Structure 1
Amino acid sequence: MLVAFSVAPGTAGPDGSVHDAVAKAVRIVRESGLPNRTDAMFTTIEGEWDEVMAVVKAATDAILEASPRASLVLKADIRPGWAGELDGKVDRLEQALEEPAHEEDR
């Protein structure tokens, strides 16, 4: 499964930033050993249900160490029997973009 999630403290630092707390959460994801990717809005992690959710929980717990409240947004793509989809989905999209557009798609 793929899980894209964003976790942030309910209270920000004096400049309104949350990057220090979020860095602690992302560090936990990266140290998990599971395939992952972080962009400006979400971190996506790939693995089996229990292992992915354990990492999401640990990342959320890290945020709660910095703030008495956390906000968690989570989206999951659950596709049993598939692996390597962190890159596979993007590869298939890029392949489709390289193909000429069909006349009916215009």
Structure 2
Amino acid sequence: MLVAFSVAPSGTGNSDGSVHDAVAAAVRIVRESGLPNRTDSMFTTIEGEWDEVFAVIKDATEAVGAYGSRVSLVLKADIRPGYTGELTAKLDRLDAALENDG
């Protein structure tokens, strides 16, 4: 499965609304998990089995919780049993389709 998630604290007390330190704590946990992952400006996507993916997301969410009085968590999942490597394979198929259109 692929799970894209965004996690951020609120009630941080930062007047500029910056949450980069909290997000860095979450991304560090994802990267140290050893699971395939990708982070962009909006979401971190992680690939693996249910239990391992959600354990990492739980740990990342708890790490962010140290930076504020509340935590916001947004999840989107693509559950496709029997497939692996979809973190890059989906993009490869998209690129191929774009090349064929041109």
Q: TM-score, normalised by structure 2?
A: 0.95
* Aligned residue pairs, count: 101
What is residue 87 of structure 1 aligned with on the other side?
88
User: Is 1:3 aligned to residue 3 of structure 2?
Assistant: yes
> Unmatched 5+ residue regions in structure 2?
none
User: Is 1:23 aligned to residue 24 of structure 2?
Assistant: yes
SS, match of residue 66 in structure 1: coil
Distance in 1 separating the partners of 2:73 and 2:95: 30
Bigger CA radius of gyration: 1
Distance in 2 separating the partners of 1:76 and 1:100: 28
Aligned-partner residue type, residue 16 of structure 2: D
> Unmatched 5+ residue regions in structure 1?
102-106
Identity of matched residues, %: 72
Aligned-partner residue type, residue 3 of structure 1: V
SS, match of residue 41 in structure 1: coil
Cα shift readout 1:10-45 (whole Å, capped 9, x = no counterpart): 124232110011100000000000000000000000
CA RMSD of aligned residues (A): 1.0
